[in-house]
């Protein structure tokens, strides 16, 4: 066997190892992104702006909304630690499109 064929094998082996590594990283990345919960957004007439909350472990948008609407709930720091209870509604977290320019 000549040294030329060994270097060809080394290059092929390195290429294969690189491909395997790339596939492994690609397989892991979507799983980690899926683990990150989407934010929940809420509004209330007594609260300025939109409240954005990323649910923690064992939380959901529904459980956060129930907390915000429960007059006896305390201890969480949702919505800048607001003490406004009741009247919260869940809204889309997507930004509103800008208003159309007025025609004069």
pTM: 0.60
- 95: confidence class by pLDDT, cuts 50, 70, 90: confident
- Least confident range from 2-16, 18-32, 53-67, 85-99: namely 18-32
At 84, list the tokens: 């406004």
Q: Residue 44: how many CB atoms within 10 A of its CB?
A: 19
Q: Average of pLDDT values for 15-28?
A: 49
Per-residue CA distances from 50 to 45, 59, 88 (Å)? 10, 19, 10
């Amino acid at each position: 066997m000549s040294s030329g064929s060994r270097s060809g094998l080394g290059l092929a082996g390195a290429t294969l190892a690189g491909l395997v590594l790339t596939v492994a990283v690609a397989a892991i990345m979507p799983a980690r992104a899926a683990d990150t919960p989407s934010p929940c957004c809420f509004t209330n007439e007594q609260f300025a702006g939109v409240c954005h909350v990323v649910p923690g472990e064992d939380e959901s948008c529904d459980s956060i909304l129930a907390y915000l609407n429960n007059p006896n709930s305390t201890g969480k720091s949702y919505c800048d630690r607001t003490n406004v209870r009741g009247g919260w509604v869940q809204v889309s977290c997507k930004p509103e499109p800008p208003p159309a320019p007025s025609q004069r």
